[in-house]
A and B are shown apart, each in its own frame.
Chain A
Amino acid sequence: QKEVEQDPGPLSVPEGAIVSLNCTYSNSAFQYFMWYRQYSRKGPELLMYTYSSGNKEDGRFTAQVDKSSKYISLFIRDSQPSDSATYLCAMETGRRALTFGSGTRLQVQP
């Protein structure tokens, strides 16, 4: 079993929809949680970073961490066609290498 599980999708939504992306994990030592966006044949780009449990909002993006359930989420409001990409969750124990999920491919239809 992988340490980080993520539904690969693809997830297809109409423009303007609210998107919910999720990851579960098994290692309780993870403290730092990130969401990266990766366009086709490009490197991952950091979207959100959260320490421990709670919510964090940045524009149309909201990241949630529930450490008691070992579950993290990324919400995208008012989704745009330019949001079409693969979204990777990543986490780490602190100052070490990242452990990634397999990524969820999102398609926002105009």
Chain B
Amino acid sequence: DTGVSQDPRHKITKRGQNVTFRCDPISEHNRLYWYRQTLGQGPEFLTYFQNEAQLEKSRLLSDRFSAERPKGSFSTLEIQRTEQGDSAMYLCASSILAGVGTDTQYFGPGTRLTVL
């Protein structure tokens, strides 16, 4: 399977715990995005990387959230001191930026987080 993969697919945690999610993009894709999706809503942008550089962060990304892409390949998203409001599907997408215009984003299956 050469698509975007995410791990774990499901995570249940207690309020106050830290969680970390991993995303493996499509090989050779230089852009990687994180989105959050709550029930009945569309995905909301959190942050994106071009190679290893984090180029933009949404105001949704509070200080408790941190994302890394250390070698320009896989990425991790960590949430510290989780709150019940963090319960959502966390989606990763990757794309390849080539020339002018937009880059087509391909989404992974998501990690569903439930904070008890």
Q: Do these two chains really belong together in a complex?
A: yes
Interface residues of B in 63-107 (CB under 8 A from A): 91, 93, 97, 101-107
Contact A43 B107 (CB under 8 A): yes
Set A4, A41, A44, A97: member contacting B107, Cβ < 8 A: A44
Complex: chain B residue closest to A42, CB-CB: B109
A99 to B35, CA, bound (A): 10
The docked-state distance in angstroms from the alpha carbon of A99 to that of B41 is: 12
Say whether B43 contacts A98, CB under 8 Å.
yes
Q: Are A100 and B42 in contact (CB under 8 A)?
A: yes
Across the interface, A103 reaches (CB within 8 A) one of B41, B104, B106, namely B41
Inter-chain contact B102/A95, CB cutoff 8 Å: yes
Contact of A43 among B58, B97, B104, B110 (CB under 8 A): B110
A94: Cβ under 8 A from any B Cβ: yes
Q: Please, which residue of chain B has its CB at the minimum distance from the CB of A93?
A: B102
**B residues lining the A interface (CB < 8 Å):** 4, 33, 35, 40-45, 48, 56, 58, 91, 93, 97, 101-110, 112
